Copies of this chain bind each other. A is one copy, B any other.
């Protein structure tokens, strides 16, 4: 019982990751339709792309209000606007990259990064050979100076692209500097206090989940890797 005392949870926070993932898929599809000048879409068409049912689509969207006209479907541009608002894509996200390497560079140059309002405001490293150098037009700063910079520049998100061994120490610096969102590319599970949000992306892990599943079925040419 104690664990629940004093915790205030507005219902909007209780939306599952799986729902947000579907909203993200719907938005992708709607943007593609909009690019082809399609103005309305049915819940059935959205369901097909989202790998779900039209009832699920209607339920997902009804969580955020009432859209769509019976028999006509959803107005594509209206629904894009609503989904962009829900997903926090109607604002600017100030990003600090921590780890001035290739992964961060690939991310910063990914078109969808800027398109979603993510803007790099600072780049850090702890390698003296990189500090002071240029990285995608930014001067690389010493990670030790981060706390002072954050008070001034107020990044919303830190992208962690340091090696596994220094990821937790880096996250500790980020958290103590006051940044509330972390996108973690290091293959380590970061420990952060409540109030800090972490999302993890590991290409290596995705590849290994696939090779694991296939190996279990006896696929692949053993001993040749």
Q: Could you list which residues of chain A lie within 8 angstroms of chain B, going by C-beta atoms?
A: 12-13, 17, 20-21, 23-25, 27-29, 32, 49-52, 86-94, 106-107, 110, 112-113, 116-118, 156-157, 163-165, 180-181, 183, 187-191, 197, 199, 201-217, 219-225
Contact = CB atoms under 8 A, between A and B. Distances in A.
B204 A24 contact: yes
Contacts of A157: 210, 214
A210 B24 CA distance: 11
A28 B187 contact: yes
Given A116-B225, A205-B21, A224-B117, A210 B189 contact: no
A28 B164 contact: yes
Nearest to A113: B207
B181 A89 contact: no
Given A92-B225, A221-B91, A183 B165 contact: no
B216 A12 contact: yes
Nearest to A91: B220
A89 B189 contact: no
B29 A208 contact: no
